[in-house]
Amino acid sequence: MLTETFPPPKSRQREQAPHPVPRPDRKFYANTAAFGRFGVRWFDPQLMPSEHSHGHIELNWLTAGGMDYSFEGRPVHVPPERLVMFWAGIPHQTIRLDKGPAGDSRQCNVYLPLDAFLHMPHLGTLPETMMGGGVIALSVDAVGASTLQRWYQDYRSGNPERADILKIEIGTMMRRAALVGWDELLPPWIESLSPSTRAASPLRYVVAMVRHIIENLSEPLSAEDVAKVVGLHPNYALNLFTAVMRVSVRKFVVRMRLIRARSLLFEGNMSIANVAFQSGFTSLSQFYEHFRNAYGITPREMRQNLIQG
């Protein structure tokens, strides 16, 4: 019988595992709370003293036992050996923990930056489910302990190519989930705004603005135009967006356009000028300035690195 092995306790991980090599956009993630950096962790499951939120789509996997979350007062039970997925921007807290019969349960968390997730193609209703506050469990065969260990090793390897392959594998897994479905642990509860909506929570307004931005990324998008989508006073809407997302509308739009531009650079032979235009930037100088600030190199240099690598 094949025996599963799991990463060593946290203290030993710190002694043995090298730190991931910094990526060009590390500075952006360090300075912007809205989008957390990509990461993979193995650790002993723990209760959380208070609720928190952060800029990821979070994936949890337990080797045994189970745990209970609270999402703004809504209870969710996380079973063992199922990959559970949710938007961590919604305040959440683990409130009960079962470490299994042997008391040796381990937990693997994958932290996918929200900006990267929102740009992933062919995910069907998955983004809407996540942004709607849904908590889901992927199919039993979606991933296992051995795959999660390999993902962890790829992440900790410090090899940029292994890290990129890892992210592609996660995207492929999510694309498959969009086709075969998932189990809802908490149905989406942040409803879309409509003309009949009389009162909405701040989160509903912000989700509506995020959806509008993603759907119109290549079009001119002023902060005031985004605010009009939810029918609120511009100053109130923009402050609300910043308070919930922890980034301004303008910076959110720029970041999503940069993610699109980076993808277009890798996909084909489109000219740099067309990449900028298709991503929603109004001038090449503006595009180059934002791109260099985010990634540390120019679009042309990034494309050349891809070809030479």
Residue of 118, 140, 141 lying closest to 129 (CA atoms): 118
The predicted pLDDT at position 39 comes to: 93
192 assigned to some structural domain: no
What pTM did the predictor assign? 0.76
The predicted pLDDT at position 13 comes to: 44
How confident is the model over 22-46, as a mean pLDDT? 72
CB-side neighbour CA atoms (13 Å) of 113: 20
3 assigned to some structural domain: no
Say if residue 171 is in the same domain as residue 233: no
Highest mean pLDDT among 22-26, 152-156, 234-238: 152-156
196 assigned to some structural domain: no
* Beta carbons within 8 Å of 131's beta carbon, 6+ residues apart: 87, 190, 207, 210, 211
Asked whether residue 183 carries a pLDDT value surpassing 80, the answer given is: yes
Residue of 178, 237, 250, 234 lying closest to 207 (CA atoms): 237
Q: How far apart are the first and last CA of the chain?
A: 41
How confident is the model over 11-15, as a mean pLDDT? 42
Asked whether residue 23 carries a pLDDT value surpassing 60, the answer given is: no
Q: How many CB atoms lie within 10 A of CB 251?
A: 15
Say if residue 239 is in the same domain as residue 260: no
Asked whether residue 200 carries a pLDDT value surpassing 70, the answer given is: no
- Both structure tokens of 8: 């060593």
Say if residue 265 is in the same domain as residue 227: no
Q: 19 or 60: which carries more pLDDT confidence? A: 60
**Confidence class for position 71, pLDDT limits 50, 70, 90:** very high
R_g over Cα of the chain: 20
Q: 238 or 23: which carries more pLDDT confidence? A: 238
Say if residue 228 is in the same domain as residue 97: no
**Phi-psi label, residue 111: left if phi above 0, alpha if psi -120 to 50, beta otherwise:** beta
42 assigned to some structural domain: yes
Q: Which of 57-66, 93-102, 173-182, 212-221 has the least mean pLDDT? A: 212-221
Angle 209-215-218 (CA atoms, 0-180°, nearest 5)? 110
Say if residue 216 is in the same domain as residue 157: no
1 assigned to some structural domain: no
Q: 186, 214, 229 — which closes off a domain? A: 186
Max Cα separation, the chain?
Answer: 64
The predicted pLDDT at position 304 comes to: 80
Asked whether residue 212 carries a pLDDT value surpassing 80, the answer given is: yes
SS3 sequence, 161-211? HHHHHHHHHHHHHHHHHHHHCCEEEECCCCCCCCCCCCCCCHHHHHHHHHH
The predicted pLDDT at position 22 comes to: 45
What is the rounded CA–CA span in Å between residue 202 and residue 120? 26
Say if residue 103 is in the same domain as residue 121: yes
Asked whether residue 99 carries a pLDDT value surpassing 50, the answer given is: yes
How confident is the model over 257-264, as a mean pLDDT? 88
5 assigned to some structural domain: no
Say if residue 264 is in the same domain as residue 119: no
**Confidence class for position 136, pLDDT limits 50, 70, 90:** very high
Say if residue 99 is in the same domain as residue 210: no
2 assigned to some structural domain: no
How confident is the model over 3-20, as a mean pLDDT? 45
Say if residue 135 is in the same domain as residue 21: yes
Describe the crossing of helices 145-156 and 160-180 by its angle, rounded to 10 degrees.
150
Which alpha helices (H) appear in the chain, and where do they start and end?
Answer: 10-16, 26-31, 114-119, 126-131, 145-156, 160-180, 202-215, 223-228, 234-245, 249-267, 272-278, 284-295, 299-308
Q: Which domain holds residue 224?
A: 202-246
Say if residue 181 is in the same domain as residue 283: no
**What's the CATH number where 27 sits?**
2.60.120
286 assigned to some structural domain: yes
**Confidence class for position 20, pLDDT limits 50, 70, 90:** very low
Say if residue 96 is in the same domain as residue 142: yes
**Confidence class for position 246, pLDDT limits 50, 70, 90:** confident
The predicted pLDDT at position 14 comes to: 42
Domains in the chain, number: 3
Q: 304 or 274: which carries more pLDDT confidence? A: 274
What confidence tens digit (pLDDT) does each residue in 107-121 have? 999 999 888 898 888
How confident is the model over 19-46, as a mean pLDDT? 69
**What's the CATH number where 294 sits?**
1.10.10.60
Q: 246, 264, 280 — which closes off a domain? A: 246
CA torsion sign for 266, 156, 112, 180 is: positive
Say if residue 117 is in the same domain as residue 154: yes
